[in-house]
Chain A
């Protein structure tokens, strides 16, 4: 079906225009209904009792006093309810919704209550008596690798030490490449545990109807995977589960996983036979939401004297936390960047995903890539310093180009990296200002990225379905597999349908459907919704267009190929006076004898491959690129870093809606600024102590700058109307650009982020000591 789309220009002309988000008025005026905004008759409040220990045996749990409290409808422990292990990994599921005999992090779920209101539920938690036998805990991934380290998952057969996964990759002759290098730089980098910190904390509601059919309301990215995992772990019939998604108040990847509280909500609803809701407050959101995984890198990069990269050699450890959720697989994205950002002929990666007694991770925006890019791009600047060359010129010399096949056999089609680098160089005044403001403690730094931009095949299918229905008024309903999380995908999908069909945007409505209605989709991740759900929507619209033209041809006495549709009017191309309104045609199809609804469906699965066991494979149908230059001022007395400016250029393939894609880039870059300078989950003996937006380092408006954004359009052949994925790119290189700017400003090399004042002050002090 794809071939019928090629070569035809867009129809109605809405593509490429700055259409505000269609849901913005409802969101801005408080009409949007979020997951905690609706009531069900008999709704109970669920609350979870969490472990205060980072590692302990559960000796006993006495729930009798809690159960006796008036208003308590159920108290559950891991022994009371059927549950199977879940989670990802080679040794099987490592997690249980409610723990039975052991807890592995401060926050692990030990018991749960359902009560008539929140005060009773909280009071009931205080009455549950748990006896623990504390075990030694380990918080550092390198310490967790020591032979005598506390073992987190010795119950999993086959596991060695705390290594959950070990992924190695080799390409090219590393020894020869090292020997051929004139310069080699070698350094260690560390990245923090951070969270998505969405405005709406996690909230899940579950209700069984009288026939035993379960409905779950949850702000998930992946409704179908969620449903399967829910059914598998709780022994439910997955045909009898409906997953509804209320309006989502932000996620940034933190809501991608099914989490223990989701299962527990259903367990409580099952045992009480009443609807139950578990809603986190802000503190619980910081303690219990999935995180961005911390990484440790030991990285070496080599180059020839004329600045050609020769090799990269990386030893990487993911500080996984207690269990394998999505975050455990961020290493795969990290590997992509280590092997494929810039042309590197020889690469060795040794990586381990290591259990620690800490919160565990999800796929927060960028999914490992900001971490990997920080290491790779910091080292590019160190290399430039060794070579005595301009860091941006060094990047241009090694930039990926269209047609490249990377060491992991990712096939680069369109590639705007060079143009992005040249754009931020020009807009930032790089040549005139970089390296020339040290007397004012000011500096400029650059960093770039590569990221999947055409889906990411992490599952057998990377597909998404679309159903399109036209009614007697000419209203076009797109029922998409894609899921709106606030990123604006429904607006873009509506624009794609309007343009492909040639009808006004107002005629198109995107239905945020539940799983009873919604066609299958992998879910929202990897910046894939515009690309994959967009292509599916476009295919369904193209089919509907054909149906319309076939029907109109009869009415207009012309052949279908002689017709065109613009702004809802179907006309004969050579004789525009012969025309008919598309709605009239749709109505005619319904009302004629033997008529029917114009309903079409499509399924788009990008032409990609899963990586094989050696990590080769073209996982995405397109790759996104971008570059950023940051300008900072360092206060050497306190170590405070002020971001002065951020210039961003991003290859978006084609900007289907410049307003929205700029919004995505701006939002992501602001997250990148905070990641660079302030955001960090602070743990004290394994316990999250940064339980407020302020102590977590969430930025105020005065802490960030409005980025200067240039959209680079390379016109991707596979993307819908030329677009490629863009939602994550803005966050990926920011921390590295800021680190490189600090190095330019004050001559010290940051090796970790966030670059909080005491770290910068410490690096400056170390440099003074070295000088002294």
Chain B
């Protein structure tokens, strides 16, 4: 039996967590923590319920930059029109989580901080160079997403620190998408900046088929400088993504070779969608379907 604590502000939550250390686990939406606990994978003596913390559930937009509260429900993120229009990758990642009932419980911050292999939101944040705001005993600090999620079920949050918000830039020449393929357990995000007909900045991130959500540098190199998504670019990209694909043994997702192959295929589809979004040729507000646009539509 765990003891439940119900702080009412970030400071109180932080000091409870600091005091209890490893004994405590913070609960945001609970869709992951409570399941992990019931399955006996974690057995914390204390649960710190964050639902009483106010003001952390908003999605705000200022000057082309979004600030999303850590306790924003994934359902809220998915339903937010500016997010769908300008950060479709984040909306697509939210859509990839569970069902509407689950999304109405699960939070953005919870999805990121669980650092689960399948954590859908993190790849979308990684390809947007999103920055996390972390509150701790010594005040706030900013940390890049890649420096927050650092290992399987592992973040860089110190004891007593809480993720409070994520800041996501959405410049006009940037396009991104997140494409999951549930049956094989693969999620791929690509973000591109395109200027004067060439890729000036490329981000590729994976989840589900890797030990924890992460960027793939070789895949980004394949896209950087590209003047079109050619067959050659696609082959390099797919090869780099497949090579980075390193899923833990899990037969429910089929053979690893197929997972690698699908990750490669999805990276190509995602690159095309990202390019179209960066170039303004993808319809604003229209989300990419799971599995991506079929090969036929993409060519």
Contact = CB atoms under 8 A, between A and B. Distances in A.
Interface string A173-191: 0000000000000000000
A682 B252 contact: yes
A682 B251 contact: yes
Interface stretch (A15-23, A618-626, A690-698, A713-721): A690-698
A761 B261 contact: yes
B64 interface: no
A91 interface: no
Question: How many B residues touch the partner, as a band?
Answer: 20 to 34
A440 interface: yes
A635 interface: yes
Interface string B86-115: 000000000000010000000000000000
A440 B258 CA distance: 23
B262 A757 contact: yes
A502 to B, nearest CB: 46
Contact of A637 (B182, B183, B250, B265): B265
What is the interface of chain B mostly: helix, strand, loop, or mixed? helix
B254 interface: yes
Contacts of B294: 633, 635
Interface in A283-315: 283
Given A440-B296, A757-B183, A757-B262, A638 B291 contact: yes
Nearest to A117: B1
Interface in B103-145: none
A607 interface: no
A758 B181 contact: no
Interface string B248-291: 00111011001001100110000000000000000000000001
A636 interface: yes
A640 to B, nearest CB: 6
A756 B265 contact: no
A148 interface: no
Interface string A732-772: 00000000000000000000000011100110000000000
B258 A639 contact: yes
A283 B40 CA distance: 12
B181 A638 contact: yes
- Scoring A640, A695, A696 by chain B CB atoms within 10 A of each residue's CB, the highest score goes to A640
B99 A756 contact: no
B181 A640 contact: yes
Contact of B251 (A633, A635, A684, A761): A684
A441 B295 CA distance: 11
A665 B165 CA distance: 49
Contacts of A441: 296
B38 interface: yes
B265 A758 contact: no
A695 B255 CA distance: 14
Nearest to A685: B251
B296 A640 contact: no
A756 B251 contact: no
A761 B181 CA distance: 14
Contacts of A695: 252
Interface string A69-93: 0000000000000000000000000
A689 B250 contact: yes
Contacts, number: 51
Contacts of A682: 251-252
Contacts of B27: none
Contacts of A639: 258
A695 B35 CA distance: 15
A640 B266 CA distance: 12
B26 interface: no
Contacts of B251: 682, 684, 689
A285 to B, nearest CB: 14
Nearest to B250: A689
A296 to B, nearest CB: 20
A757 B182 CA distance: 10
Nearest to B98: A694
A696 B181 CA distance: 15
B1 A690 contact: no
A689 B254 contact: no
Interface in A618-661: 633, 635-640
A30 to B, nearest CB: 15
Interface string A223-263: 00000000000000000000000000000000000000000
A684 B248 CA distance: 14
Given A283-B39, A694-B182, A757-B262, A635 B291 contact: yes
Nearest to A120: B1
Contacts of B250: 689
Nearest to B186: A638
Contact of B183 (A119, A684, A756): A756
A157 to B, nearest CB: 38
A700 B289 CA distance: 14
A637 B184 contact: no
A757 B254 contact: yes
Given A640-B291, A757-B254, A758-B254, 11 more contacts: A441-B296, A633-B294, A638-B181, A638-B291, A678-B183, A682-B252, A689-B250, A695-B252, A696-B252, A697-B183, A758-B184
11 contacts: A281-B38, A440-B296, A635-B295, A637-B295, A638-B265, A638-B291, A682-B251, A689-B250, A757-B181, A757-B184, A762-B258
Interface of B: 1, 38-39, 99, 181-184, 250-252, 254-255, 258, 261-262, 265-266, 291, 294-296
